[in-house]
């Protein structure tokens, strides 16, 4: 009988109202890199948090080397040799590398009867950890003086100082450049050569073939399946990630006119976007597909002037713009619903009414004077039109569900009667029914001649909603797709291709 | 029933003020006489005028520590330049309005400077106004050489010490007028709504096309202008402009705003609450004086009462 390095047996985690993880049984071999994949909300981070002792499972067991272990808190996880490097680095920037690596465990000595830090020993210990990883960094320097890549390495060194038997890395490359990623990979291979089991979470599917030995996929909190990397094709990964993809509900009267309303010419943004060109037609819903880090969000922000492009120009009607600002683009009939509702779109202390009347304030109060009676028709129109479920528009916007909050974000802009709406991940974190309602809003707008640019990481959504899809790769337009003549796997493969 | 309870908890500070007044009316001799009540209003009016601006600044997520020194600077500038112009043979009827207008404009300029530092160079308003607090105070000493400058024309004293119709203290009338103006601006104008939006989520406001920078500069400018106005009133009331006018007012003003329920983290607060906060501080001072509490005890008791009031208010209100 094989003894697995790490096993989970029927793990289940319930939260009030939802099951985050359900009947997850996985075996991980020693000395290999195991990729753990899944869409947002699939349960990856719940699983990793359970292994790290940050949360406890509702039921199920964890076995290490064939023996059951209990991990009730992070300290017990460390004691078992399970160490996790989370996506957000946990380094203290002002402290030296050595202090960060040995945080909370600095060697002490007695001096005049008082316990003080034994600095020579601390630097020596830290250096030993780095030497073992064949990295040379000055352990006395403050951590903030290093770049993100080196900080990532320091974070891993800190993990290594616990002598882990299992190391979980959550999105370790999300902030790294290509050559830095290569260095990290070499480091990971050293670890596996020494028998460490690595669990590797990443959204960058392209890099997996360079580092992973096996792929484990979670979907909706359940184990969707696992394959050896050698046997994995984009097709199999897509099927595991997304299940059977259906394209339904798409209305058959979706048409758009030939008139160009928005022309993007040679747009560039340092390090993010390169020579992007396209034309948006009246009533068209243009999808932007691309992997994480392809520049999707940057593109929308650049076009709207939130983080303006530094090369090229856009044309709206007769106007040519080279230095956009949100106020300017708004005046030209653009609208932008940002990816992060909470931090970029809604003003939490204000009411639903006030949040619905922000972008269109000039329209609602042309004289500068604002009042509830003036706002009422605008609030009522959006609440009814978008079917926003509220008990009263005077309630704080924070009291709404994700889907209804998103509708408030959209309604805020619709009050300004935009001609072009830029949607950045409008369906993130909202339920299926709310998603369909958002799609319906987009289709209705299209019928009224309002154009849209729709960024989504959910490719099946793009295929369902759009007239046309552009594939963005590393900041460049890498292809154009007609949703009617394309299926999910083909689009997914297009996004993945180098 | 539920609605009544909701009203009581929303009116937390108002009830605390009412309770304080009832206690003082029963214990402090002469507290409830109309002249005393008007006197309270007169005494709080100068800080109160600034407090309305400060409310706006704090709602927008900023702070202004320089208002006390701005009062001193404005008082000294007014007295000094008035004396200079009168010495040149100007008539006071021309010189005084000109000097007052100039003081207010300079005040606005100083606040706008803070705003520019904030929007252009990302210097927190806390830092800039901390520097201005020292700098403006120094400038006030330089102008006056450390001694108050007497203001000659008798009629000038009306602004700070006069009574409308022989009954209503002029500064108190101005204070209530300012309350009306700022209450209106914050609740019924695009500008006011933008201030709330910026304080609640500046990025969301910016992405909604709200002119965030312009509004930050305006709120800070207006508040400094109010401090300058207050300085003119102080100079008028004392008959002289001295460099110690407005000393540590910034603390009283900020305390009044906080007591009034405005959140230091920005995005929420009411002008009405600040009115209550200002009057609350005035009532404490007046009551303790009437009760013959000595000055050192007054300071201590005042500190304790401020904290107690805010605490009761917090516990009373469900966490947002």
Burial of B165 (0-12, 13-18, 19+ CB in 10 A): exposed
CA distances from B257 to A383, B54, B172, B245 (A): 35, 7, 18, 21
Residue-by-residue DSSP string for B82-126: HHHHHHTT--HHHHHHHHHHHHHHHHHHHHHHHHHHHHHH---HH
Give A353's contacts in chain B (Cβ within 8 Å).
Answer: none
For residue range A99-116, list pLDDT tens digits in order: 999 988 888 888 888 889
Please indicate whether, in this complex, the C-beta atoms of A346 and B201 are within 8 angstroms of each other: yes
Nearest-neighbour CA in chain B from A457: distance (Å): 22
pLDDT in tens, A216-269: 999 888 898 889 988 888 778 888 887 765 556 677 777 788 899 999 999 999
Record the tokens describing residue B182, joined without a space: 């700022």
Q: Torsion over CA of A414, B214, A317 and A439, rounded to 10 degrees?
A: -20
Given CB atoms, is B267 within the 8 Å cutoff of chain A?
yes
B193, A343: Cβ pair inside 8 Å?
no
Contacting residues of A for B189, CB less than 8 Å apart = 365, 368-370
pLDDT on residue A221: 86
Using a CB-CB distance cutoff of 8 angstroms, which residues of chain A are in contact with residue B196?
347, 349-350, 354
Report DSSP state, residue A203.
S
Tell me how close the Cα of A394 comes to any Cα of chain B, in angstroms: 14
Question: Which strand (E) or helix (H) includes residue A114?
Answer: strand A114-117
CA distances from A444 to A246, A261, A403, A411, A420 (A): 22, 18, 18, 13, 13
Enumerate the H helices of A173-259 as residue ranges. Answer: 178-193, 205-211, 234-242
Distance from CA of A376 to the nearest CA of B (A): 14
Please say if the pLDDT value at position B299 is more than 50.
yes
Q: Best-predicted range by mean pLDDT among A78-82, A291-295, B271-275, B311-315?
A: B271-275
CB contact under 8 A, A347 and B191: no
Q: What is the pLDDT of residues A395-430, one digit of tens each?
A: 989 888 888 899 999 999 999 999 999 999 998 877
Tell me, what's the pLDDT at A258? Answer: 84
Are residues A326 and B207, on separate chains, in Cβ contact within 8 Å?
yes
> Which chain A residues are Cβ-neighbours of B205 within 8 angstroms?
347, 358
Domains of chain B and any CATH numbers: 36-316 (1.10.3470)
CB atoms within 10 A of CB A195: 11
Q: At what angle do helices B212-238 and B92-121 cross, to 10 degrees?
A: 150
Nearest C-alpha neighbor of A146 from the set A100, A178, A105: A100
**Does residue A477 sit in helix, strand or coil?**
strand
- CA dist A35 and A40 (Å) reads 15
Inter-CA distances, A272 with A276, A296, A298, A328, Å: 11, 9, 7, 23
Number of Cβ within a 10 Å radius of residue B111: 32
Indicate yes or no: CB of B267 within 8 angstroms of CB of A347. Answer: yes
DSSP 8-class letter at B51 = H
Of A347, A359, A362, the CB nearest to B201: A347
pLDDT at B107 over 90: yes
Q: Please tell me the distance from the alpha carbon of residue A414 to that of residue A450, in angstroms, as a whole number.
A: 10
Pseudo-torsion of CA B287, B289, B295, B296, nearest 10°? -30
Q: Is A19 exposed, middle or buried (0-12, 13-18, 19+ CB in 10 A)?
A: middle
B302 in contact with chain A, both atoms CB, cutoff 8 A: no
Distance (Å, whole) CA B98 – CA B142: 22
Q: Judge contact between A203 and A117, C-beta under 8 A.
A: no
Q: Is A328 exposed, middle or buried (0-12, 13-18, 19+ CB in 10 A)?
A: middle
**Please, what sign has the CA dihedral across residues A69, A74, A79, A81?**
positive
B190 to A357: CB separation less than 8 angstroms, yes or no:
no
Of A27, A22, A23, A8, the closest CA to residue A68 belongs to A8
Q: Are B126 and B65 in contact (CB under 8 A)?
A: yes
- Which residue is it, tokens 């309270």? B40
Across all residues in chain B, what is the average pLDDT? 92
Asked if residue A341 has pLDDT above 70, the reply is yes
Give me the torsion for CA of A61, A65, A66, A67, rounded to 10°. Answer: -60
Angle between helix axes B67-87 and B249-259 (nearest 10 degrees) is 130
Count CB-CB contacts under 10 A for residue B317.
13
The pLDDT tens digits of the residues spanning B2-42 come to 455 555 555 778 998 999 999 999 999 899 999 999 999 99
Give CA angle at A347 (A344, A349), nearest 5°. 145
Q: Do A345 and B209 touch (CB under 8 A)?
A: no
Q: Please say whether the beta carbons of B290 and B31 come within 8 A.
A: yes
Cβ of B203 within 8 Å of Cβ of A348? The answer is: no
Whether residues A327 and B210 touch (CB distance < 8 A) is answered with yes
pLDDT at A313 over 50: yes
- Count of all residues that appear for chain B in the document: 320
- Give just the sign of the alpha carbon dihedral A341, A344, A350, A351: negative
CA atoms of B142 and B130, how far apart (whole Å) = 19
Determine the distance in angstroms separating the CA of B9 from the nearest CA of chain A, rounded to an integer: 17
For residue A326, give the nearest of A393, A265, A427, A412 by alpha carbon: A412
**How far is the alpha carbon of B229 from chain A, nearest alpha carbon, in Å?**
26
Q: Chain A residue closest to B210 (CA)?
A: A327
Which of the four pLDDT bands, split at 50, 70 and 90, describes residue A3?
low
Which domains are present in chain A?
6-242 (3.40.50.300), 260-496 (3.40.50.300)
- Name the residue among A456, A427, A458 with its Cα closest to residue A440: A427
> Is residue B281 classed exposed, middle or buried when 0-12, 13-18 and 19+ CB atoms within 10 A define those classes?
buried
d(CA B173, CA B88): 34
Contact of B3 with chain A, judged by CB distance below 8 Å, is answered with no
For residue A369, give the nearest of B189, B200, B320 by CB distance: B189
- Beta carbons of A314 and A324 less than 8 angstroms apart: yes
User: How far is residue A293's CA from residue A273's CA, in Å, rounded to a whole number?
Assistant: 11
The torsion region of residue A181 among left (phi > 0), alpha (psi -120 to 50) and beta comes to alpha
Interface of B with A in 167-196 (CB under 8 A): 188-194, 196
**B119 near A CB under 8 A:** no
State how far residue A448 is from chain B, nearest Cα, in angstroms: 23
Whether pLDDT at A437 is above 70: yes
Task: Tell me the three state secondary structure of residue B74.
Answer: helix
pLDDT over 90 at B212, yes or no: yes
Do residue A348 and residue B200 have CB atoms under 8 angstroms apart? yes
Nearest partner of A303 among A349, A262, A251, A362, judged by Cα: A262
- Identify all chain B residues contacting A358, using CB atoms and an 8 Å cutoff: 193, 197, 204-205, 208, 210
How many CA atoms, within 13 angstroms, populate the side-chain half-sphere of residue A182?
Answer: 2
Q: Calculate the alpha carbon distances from A171 to A84, A175, A184, A493, B187 in Å.
A: 11, 9, 12, 21, 46
- The residue of A330, A347, A396 whose CB has the most chain B CBs within 10 angstroms, and thus the best one to mutate to test that interface, is A347
Between residues 27 and 46 of chain B, which touch chain A (CB distance below 8 Å)? none
**Shortest CB distance from B190 goes to which of A338, A346, A370?**
A370
Structure tokens, A438: 């958002």
- CB contacts < 8 Å between A and B, how many? 81
Contact A365 B189 (CB under 8 A): yes
Dihedral-angle region of residue A220 (phi above 0 means left; psi in -120 to 50 means alpha; beta otherwise) = left
B193, B204, B208 ranked by CB distance to A370: nearest? B193
| Chain A residues whose beta carbon lies within 8 Å of the beta carbon of residue B209 | 326-327, 329-331, 359
Measured CA to CA in angstroms, residue A212 lies from A226, A233, B151 at distances of 12, 13, 84
Nearest CA in chain A to B198: A347
The C-alpha atoms of residue A250 and residue B170 are separated, in whole angstroms, by 70
Q: Render pLDDT for B153-188 as a digit per residue (tens, 0 to 9).
A: 888 889 988 898 888 999 999 999 999 999 999 999
Apex CA B305: angle with CA B301 and CA B311, to 5°? 150
| CB-CB under 8 Å, A343 with B320 | no
Contact flag A371-B188 (C-beta cutoff 8 Å): yes
In chain A, the percentage of residues whose pLDDT exceeds 90 is 47
From chain A, the residues in CB contact with B181 under 8 A are none
Best probe of the B interface among A343, A358, A397, A408, by most B CBs < 10 A, is A358
B59 inside 8 A of chain A by CB? no
In B, minimum Cα distance to A364 occurs at B190
Put simply, whether B317 touches A (Cβ < 8 Å) is no
Using the beta-carbon criterion (under 8 Å), do A370 and B194 form an inter-chain contact? no
> Mean pLDDT throughout B81-88?
94
Q: Which residues lie across from A217 on neighbouring strands?
A: A37, A225
**In terms of pLDDT, which residue wins out, B83 or A398?**
B83
Contacts with A304 from chain B: Cβ below 8 Å? 207
Give A224's Cβ-side CA count (13 Å radius): 23
Of A37-46, A464-473, B159-168, B276-285, least confident by mean pLDDT is A37-46
* Report field, pTM of the whole predicted structure over 0.90: no
Give the closest residue to A212 by CA, choosing from A475, A36, A390: A36
- Chain A residues in contact with B199 by the CB 8 A cut-off are 349
Distance CA A481, CA A467 (A): 9
CB atoms within 10 A of CB A411: 25
Cβ–Cβ below 8 Å for A359 and B196: no
pLDDT tier, B1 (very low <50, low <70, confident <90, very high otherwise) = very low
Residue B311: pLDDT over 90: no
Rg of chain A in Å (alpha carbons)? 26
**Cross-chain residue pair A347–B320, CB shorter than 8 Å:** no
What are the chain A neighbours of B208 within 8 Å (beta carbons)?
326, 330, 358-359, 412
Convert the pLDDT of each residue in B220-236 to its tens digit: 999 999 999 999 999 99
């Amino acid at each position: 009988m094989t003894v697995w390095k790490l096993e989970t047996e029927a793990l289940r985690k319930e939260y009030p109202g939802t099951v985050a993880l359900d009947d997850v049984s996985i075996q991980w071999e020693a000395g290999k890199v195991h990729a753990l994949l899944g869409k947002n909300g699939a349960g990856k981070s719940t699983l990793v948090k359970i292994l790290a002792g940050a949360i406890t499972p509702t039921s199920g067991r964890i076995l290490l080397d064939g023996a059951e272990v209990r991990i009730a808190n992070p300290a017990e996880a460390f004691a078992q040799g399970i160490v996790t490097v989370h996506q957000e680095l946990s380094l203290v920037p002002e402290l030296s590398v050595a202090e960060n690596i040995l945080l909370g465990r600095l060697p002490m000595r007695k001096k005049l009867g008082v316990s003080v830090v034994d600095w020579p020993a601390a630097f020596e210990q830290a250096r030993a950890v780095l030497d073992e990883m064949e990295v040379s960094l000055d352990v006395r320097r403050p951590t903030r003086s290093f770049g993100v890549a080196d900080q990532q390495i320091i974070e891993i060194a800190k993990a290594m100082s616990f002598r882990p038997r299992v190391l979980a890395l959550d999105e370790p490359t999300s902030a790294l450049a290509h050559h830095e990623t290569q260095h990290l990979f070499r480091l990971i291979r050293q670890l596996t050569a020494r028998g460490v089991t690595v669990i590797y979470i990443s959204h960058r599917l392209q890099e997996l073939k360079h580092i992973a030995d096996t792929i484990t996929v979670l979907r909706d909190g359940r184990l969707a399946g696992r394959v050896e990397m050698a046997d994995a094709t984009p097709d199999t990964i897509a099927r595991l990630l997304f299940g059977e993809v259906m394209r339904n509900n798409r209305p058959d009267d979706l048409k758009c006119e030939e008139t160009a309303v928005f022309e993007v010419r040679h747009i560039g943004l340092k390090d993010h976007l390169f020579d992007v060109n396209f034309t948006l037609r009246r009533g068209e819903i243009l999808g932007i597909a691309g992997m994480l880090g392809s520049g999707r969000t940057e593109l929308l922000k650049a076009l709207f002037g939130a983080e303006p492009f530094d090369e090229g120009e856009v044309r709206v009607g007769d106007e040519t713009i080279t230095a956009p600002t949100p106020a300017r683009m708004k005046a030209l009939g653009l609208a932008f619903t940002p990816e992060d509702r909470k931090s970029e779109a809604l003003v939490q202390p204000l009411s639903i009414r006030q949040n619905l009347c922000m972008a269109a304030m000039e329209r609602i109060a042309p004289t500068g004077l604002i009042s509830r009676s003036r706002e009422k028709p605008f609030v009522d129109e959006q609440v009814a039109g978008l079917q926003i479920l509220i008990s009263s528009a005077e309630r704080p916007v924070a009291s709404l569900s994700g889907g209804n909050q998103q509708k408030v974000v959209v309604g805020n802009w619709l009050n300004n009667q935009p001609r072009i709406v830029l949607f950045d991940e409008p369906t993130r974190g909202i339920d299926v029914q709310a998603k369909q309602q958002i799609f319906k809003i987009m289709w209705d707008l299209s019928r009224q001649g309002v154009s849209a640019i729709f960024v989504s990481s959910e490719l099946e959504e793009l295929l369902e909603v759009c007239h046309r899809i552009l594939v963005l790769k590393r900041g460049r337009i890498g292809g154009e797709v007609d949703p009617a003549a394309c299926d999910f796997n083909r689009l997914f493969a297009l996004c993945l291709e180098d | 029933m539920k609605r009544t309870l909701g009203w009581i908890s929303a009116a937390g500070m108002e009830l605390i003020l009412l309770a304080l007044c009832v206690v003082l009316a029963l214990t402090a001799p002469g507290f409830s006489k109309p002249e005393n009540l008007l006197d309270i209003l007169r005494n709080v009016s100068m800080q109160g005028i600034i407090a309305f601006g400060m409310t706006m600044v704090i709602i927008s997520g900023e702070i202004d520590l320089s208002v006390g020194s701005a009062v001193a600077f404005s008082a000294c500038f007014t007295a000094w330049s008035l004396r200079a112009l009168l010495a040149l043979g100007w008539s006071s009827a021309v010189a005084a309005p000109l000097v007052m207008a100039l003081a207010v404009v300079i005040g606005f300029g100083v606040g706008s400077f803070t705003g520019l530092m904030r929007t252009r160079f990302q210097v927190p308003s806390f830092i800039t106004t901390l520097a201005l607090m020292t700098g403006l105070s120094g400038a006030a000493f330089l102008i006056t050489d450390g001694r108050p400058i007497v203001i000659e024309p008798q009629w000038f004293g009306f602004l700070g010490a006069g009574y409308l119709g022989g009954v209503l203290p002029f500064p108190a009338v101005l204070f209530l007028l300012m309350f009306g103006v700022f209450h209106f601006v914050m609740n019924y104008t695009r500008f006011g709504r933008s201030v709330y939006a910026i304080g609640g989520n500046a990025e969301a406001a910016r992405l909604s096309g709200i002119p965030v920078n312009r509004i930050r500069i305006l709120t800070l400018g207006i508040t400094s202008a109010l401090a300058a106005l207050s300085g003119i009133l102080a100079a008028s009331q004392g008959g002289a402009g001295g460099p110690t006018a407005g000393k540590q007012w910034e603390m009283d003003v900020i305390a009044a705003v906080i007591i009034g329920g405005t959140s230091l983290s920005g995005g929420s607060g009411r002008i009405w609450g600040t009115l209550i906060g200002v009057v609350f501080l005035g009532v404490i001072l007046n009551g303790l004086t009437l009760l013959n509490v000595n000055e050192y005890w007054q300071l201590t008791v005042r500190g304790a009462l401020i904290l107690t009031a805010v605490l009761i208010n917090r516990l009373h209100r469900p966490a947002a």
